[in-house]
Amino acid sequence: MVWADGQLLHGGRYIIKRVLGEGGCGITYLARDKKGNAVVIKTLNDRVLNKREFTAYQDKFNRDFEKEALRLAVCRHPHIVRIENAFSEGQLPCIAMEYVKGEDLWQRVSQQGVLSETEALKYIRQIGEALTFIHDRGFLHRDVKPSNIMVRTGKLEAVLIDFGIAREFIPNLTQTQTQTFTPGFAPIEQYALQARRGEYSDVYALAGTLYYLLTQEVPLPAPARAAGIPLDAPQQINPNISNIVNRAILQGLDFQPENRPQSVQEWIKLLTLNTPTSGQKLLNISPISRQSKASYTPTNQNILTHRQGSSSRIDYRNLQAHLALGKWKEADEETAALMLKIACREKEGWLRVEDIKMFPSKDLRLIDTLWIKHSKGRFGFSVQKHIWESIGGTKNANYEIMCNLGDRLQWRINCCWVEYEQFMFDCALAPLGHLPSGYVFCEVGWWVGLLNLFYRLSS
């Protein structure tokens, strides 16, 4: 159920005007209070309310909303969205917040291209102040990204929004937390159920946000980096980025948490080195055109590639097209077809262990990179490999750990392995790492095939 224009809430204190946006669990509305002031109302969305598998989590969702309201109430700051009220409408928890008139940074960059260093650094410093304020109160935001930073209309003033997955933390203590994140902006420790938590996680996300503002490219997702795919330096994409800012971004995006600046202010100081003194003229780096930027998508020369030791040519353009259009089932089937062709197993229709062990690593990495790129880090063999390792998977793992992986990828539900027809070919609904499927390994057991593929990916 979506509230319609004119719907009254909280005893007539608010009147709904229209839907503003919808996320994984929440939906936001533009509303008016009794004085006619614009406010934002956030509540649970239909996906959570109507799906049977979410029924058991209703109490948790309600508690999370209460905690988000509390965190916003505690964290009052000029660059943090302000909470107005918290209430229940029937069974639904609701939060009323100030309406920030403007656009988010994702929209701004999408519409006008990369920002100048001057403008981008102004927003980053403002959000850095907000994050420092949050950290001082014992919270991590955990979802800093361009779409969660609003810029007020007519002002160079940034506001941090969406505290839905913010959590309390004790610096460097190993804690169990929910795995909710945005690929590209989430550091590797956020993919693990148990990991040390610290301000350096938000440092990574803030550095990733600056990377995007200056390149219009999302940083390579952490699981892909874990698989050995290198992160392009922002200066490679936009040569107008200064050396100091380029280095600061890369330090903030260091894969290892201990190698990053350990606080936001420590990282901001790296950028401050680039701040002109009052007597100097501000350098306004001119934006580069969208067409001149590099991309993670392989070039046409890479898409049509030779197999090592063979005269046959492997054409990846169909796979790239399916992935670009979000046709996940077709992409999964094309992936299987390509792997069979590369291994000369098209007639048999499945791969043996020896085929996987000899599979060309160049082709495997190309397939993996295409999946990661077009799913924004949600799908890919290296994503599956990282999940496997995060649950204790090794070369000598037993069947129980294989089952745990199946549960995590939802290839196994209620202790039963699902049929191919039951796979979720929807990037928004499928769990992290759900695709590509392992059905091409069915004759040797997908767990045996996938395990060998993981270690072939590393070779």
State the Cα–Cα distance between residues 97 and 94, nearest whole angstrom: 10
Residue, of 72 and 303, whose pLDDT is higher: 72
Among 57-66, 70-79, 316-325, which range has the highest average pLDDT? 316-325
Is the Cβ–Cβ distance between 317 and 416 less than 8 Å? no
List, for residues 159-201, the tens digit of each pLDDT value: 998 876 444 444 444 444 444 567 789 888 887 655 677 899 9
8-98 under CATH 3.40.50.800, yes or no: no
Query: Domain segments of the chain: what residues?
Result: 8-98, 102-292, 300-457
Q: How far is CA 206 from CA 20, 47, 102, 253, 372, in A?
A: 25, 29, 20, 9, 21
In sequence order, the β-bridge partners of residue 98 are 39
* CA–CA separation, 383 and 439 (whole Å): 17
- Measure CA 144 to chain center: 10
- Second-level CATH architecture of 300-457: Orthogonal Bundle (1.10)
Q: Which of 334, 310, 315, 195 is nearest to 258 (CA)?
A: 195
The beta-carbon contacts of 357-362 under 8 Å, at least 24 apart in sequence, are 357/452, 357/456, 359/453, 359/456, 360/307, 360/308, 361/456, 361/457, 361/459, 362/305, 362/308
Nearest residue to 205 (alpha-carbon basis) of 152, 156, 242, 162: 162
How far apart (Å, rounded) are the C-alpha atoms in residues 32 and 17?
7
Write down the pLDDT at residue 48.
60
The C-alpha atoms of residue 133 and residue 441 are separated, in whole angstroms, by 51
46-57 per-position pLDDT tens digit: 666 665 555 555
User: Rounded distance, CA 316 to CA 258, Å?
Assistant: 38
User: Residue 150 in contact with residue 221, Cβ under 8 Å?
Assistant: no
User: Which band of pLDDT confidence, cut at 50, 70 and 90, is reported for residue 30?
Assistant: very high
Distance CA 314, CA 319 (A): 11
At 287, list the tokens. Answer: 């934006």
Report residue 284's pLDDT band, with 50, 70 and 90 as the boundaries.
very low
Residue 205: pLDDT over 80: yes
pLDDT, position 294: 34
Nearest to 151 by CA among 128, 129, 120, 181: 120
> Mean pLDDT: which of 190-199, 246-255, 275-284, 296-305 is highest?
246-255
Average pLDDT over residues 73-92: 83
Q: What is the pLDDT of residues 101-155, one digit of tens each?
A: 999 999 999 999 999 999 999 999 999 999 999 898 888 888 899 999 999 998 8
pLDDT tens string 402-457 = 888 888 898 888 777 777 878 899 888 888 999 998 766 654 456 667 778 887 88
Q: What's the DSSP call for residue 32?
A: E
Residue for token digits 């992986």? Answer: 405
301 pLDDT exceeds 60?
no
pLDDT above 90: residue 302: no
Quote the CA–CA distance of 454 and 366 in Å, as a whole number: 14
Per-residue model confidence (pLDDT) at position 92? 81
What CATH topology corresponds to 102-292?
Transferase(Phosphotransferase); domain 1 (1.10.510)
Q: Name the 3-class secondary structure at 326.
A: coil
Give the model's pLDDT for residue 202: 94
Tell me which amino acid residue 295 is: S
Average pLDDT for the chain: 80
Long-range contacts of 356-361 (CB under 8 A, 24+ apart): 356/441, 356/449, 356/452, 356/453, 356/456, 357/452, 357/456, 359/453, 359/456, 360/307, 360/308, 361/456, 361/457, 361/459
Write down how long the chain is.
459
Residue 330 is predicted with a pLDDT of: 93
pLDDT at 23: 67
Distance CA 45, CA 350 (A): 41
Going 275 to 277 to 283 to 284, the CA torsion angle's sign is positive
Cβ neighbors of 35 (< 8 A, separation 6 or more) are: none
* CA 93 to each of CA 9, 229, 334: distance values in angstroms, whole numbers, following the listed order: 12, 42, 44
Long-range contacts from 169-173, C-beta under 8 angstroms, 24+ separation: 169/138, 169/139, 169/140, 169/197, 169/198, 170/138, 170/197, 171/197, 171/198, 171/199, 172/196, 172/197, 172/198, 173/197
